[in-house]
Amino acid sequence: MIDRQRRFMRIQSVHLDHFRNYERLDLEVKPFINVFYGENAQGKTNIIEAIYLCACARSHRTSRDRELIAHGADHYGVKIVLCAEGSDAFNESVSLSFYDESPDPDSPRKSRRIAAYNDVTLDKMSQFFGLFNAVIFAPEDLLLIKEGPSVRRRFLDLLISQVRPAYFHDLQIYSRLLQQRNRTLKMFRTLSGTHRLTAEEEAELEVWDYSMAPVSAAIIRERIAFTQRVSSLASEHHGRISSGKESLFSRYKTITGLLSEITSVESKDSGEKIENYLLAKWKATHQEDFDKGITSIGLHRDDLELSLDGEGLRPFASQGQQRSAALALKLAELEIVREETRETPVLLLDDVFSELDAGRRAALLTNIGDAQVFITCTDREFIDKELSPLRPDLFTGDARISFFRIEEGKVFPE
């Protein structure tokens, strides 16, 4: 039985098995700030990546599980042991494993992912979300500004999934239905002797439309609601980062005309209105979808649209402005996870201090609070100096910052 009311935000240990350049790692970590330092390509980020996998079941660097497997192995495993605070404290664990398919064509072994809580395999991946929460700040955050809608959809989807596990289940259902609808369209194109849809084909497409509509409405409602929160919080953070000189604005961009159909996602009939609008749009584009062999409209094409002082961020903003916007979005994510879970998530700072100027570093440090933090860097002295404001009063004698030197996939606590 999973108790989602109890939060275990302190990592006690990290365990890696054939993950990236670690054949095996069993590492005890500290409850406050953990700094992993060393030269590039030694394995610092791999530890951060493994921890993030235990929160979101996704790497921040790749979407391919095979790339996470150590050279020569056929699987990887990552596991964290979490410690609850208080007099009734006890440990729990979250783990994720991936087994690659056999290269032997005669072997029945297929690739598979296994998520576990307290070493008990979970039936659904959606049960994995919300067991452990982490927010990562990494150089890849800049892709939120530089890349296309899929990166920003992923940002929204991972944020919502962490605090609304049922949302991830809805995403899985929608993805399967979308694939089936697209396969149906391709089948029609292959079998049809005409370039016009028949009445029977129209009816079959409507079956998929009616299956997709309820889950689409549920996802879109959540996305709109969370976009509104992200927009408000990111705007506040960006105002502080830019000293009030610039205004960041974000909005959810979906099928043309849909947002004007609903006054509020909180209203009882908003879901039904979204469903009806989608059904009408899909019906109107049946022939177009048949011609293209793919579903042309839907939430799989939506976007988190960003602008700075009314101008698009991608074509007009400087590199510094783009970094400020990306940082503001991530700080908004951090604040939302805090609000939803009533706990500070674990913070993962992957080589971000070298990417940010003094003002942006200060904005990030201000928001660390009482979080357990994992930091990667190449320059220990620089990080030690940057973190000096976070040290406790000298009279406490409590060492809040712990250093670990990383060299060729080996960890040396200091």
Per residue in 202-218, pLDDT (tens digit) is 999 999 999 999 999 99
Residue 28: pLDDT above 50?
Answer: yes
DSSP label at residue 247 = -
Element at 250 (helix H, strand E): strand 248-253
Residue 242: pLDDT above 50?
Answer: yes
Which one-letter amino acid corresponds to residue 109? R
Residue 394: pLDDT above 50?
Answer: no
Taking a C-beta distance cutoff of 8 angstroms, is the pair 82, 101 a contact? no
What mean pLDDT is reported for the chain?
Answer: 89
Quick count: other Cβ atoms within 10 Å of Cβ 148?
10
pLDDT band at 398 (very low <50, low <70, confident <90, very high): low
- pLDDT of 71-102, one tens digit each? 999 999 999 999 876 545 678 999 999 999 87
- pLDDT of 151-162, one tens digit each? 999 999 999 999
Instruction: Report the predicted TM-score, pTM, of the whole model to 2 decimal places.
Output: 0.90
- pLDDT of 90-137, one tens digit each? 789 999 999 998 766 666 678 899 999 999 999 999 999 999 999 999
What's the average model confidence in pLDDT over 20-35?
Answer: 95
Alpha helices in 194-260, H assignment, sequence order: 199-241
Q: Which residue spans within 298-345 are E strands per DSSP?
A: 303-308, 311-312
**Looking at the domain that runs over 1-133+344-414, which CATH code has it been given?**
3.40.50.300
pLDDT band at 399 (very low <50, low <70, confident <90, very high): low
**Looking at the domain that runs over 142-342, which CATH code has it been given?**
1.20.1050.90
For residue 395, the model assigns a pLDDT of 46
For residue 203, the model assigns a pLDDT of 94
Phi and psi based region of residue 397 (left: phi greater than 0; alpha: psi -120 to 50; beta: remaining): left
pLDDT band at 245 (very low <50, low <70, confident <90, very high): confident
Where along the chain do its domains lie? 1-133+344-414, 142-342
